[in-house]
Amino acid sequence: TVGAVAVDVQGNLACATSTGGMLNKMEGRVGDTACIGAGGYADNKIGAVSPTGHGESILKVTLARLILFHMEQGKSPKEASDLALTYMQERVSGLAGAVVVDPKGTWAARFNSRQMAWAAAQQEQLHYGLYKGE
């Protein structure tokens, strides 16, 4: 799965997610990626999210919207992502990650899986990582 979130100079937010699915999936299986609210969500008033991970688990907790729910309650993108990912792991044992931005351009790339390749570009600087803490 791959995805992106962005804020443009006018303060508009957007998200996109795309996937080839899951290895050896049943024919016709659809995971979270095509489902608005689970595999992605964007609202100028709150933020934008593109998640990745175990699709069935992401669907069960509507992960993208859950992260934005926590942001609506005043959490930062990082805090909101960690809360939602922890909830998902505890409730349905799923591993996942997400990239998140808020309307001010504050961003986060968080995951509870072993790895997640990510990169962020802002103010002419490129940030990136693969393992936790990078």
Partner 1 sequence: MLPVVVVHGGAGFVPKERDELSIAGVQEAARRGYAVLKSGGSSMDAVVEAVTSLENNPAFNAGRGSVLNLKGEIEMDALVMDGSTLACGAVSAVKRVANPVCLARLVMDKTSHVCLTAEGACQFAKAMEIPEVTEESLITDYARKRWQDNLCSDSNPVLCQMGKMG
Torsion of CA 73, 47, 3, 133, to 10 degrees: -60
> Looking at beta carbons only, is 6 or 76 nearer to partner 1?
6
Active site residue 33: no
91 binds partner 1 (CB under 8 A): no
Alpha-carbon distances of 33 from 15, 22, 38, 71, 117, rounded to whole Å: 11, 11, 7, 21, 18
Rounded least distance, CB 74 to partner 1, Å? 19
22 binds partner 1 (CB under 8 A): yes
Binding mask 40-59 for partner 1 (x = CB under 8 A): xxxxx--xx-x-xxxxx-x-
2 binds partner 1 (CB under 8 A): yes
Using the structure block, give the residue that is written with the tokens 């922890």: 86
73 binds partner 1 (CB under 8 A): no
Give the number of residues in contact with partner 1, rule: CB under 8 A. 77
Dihedrals φ, ψ of 63, to 5°?
-60, -45
Q: Which of residues 23-42 bind partner 1 (CB under 8 A)?
A: 23-36, 39-42
- Phi/psi region, residue 20 (left: phi>0; alpha: psi -120 to 50; beta: rest), is alpha
109 binds partner 1 (CB under 8 A): yes
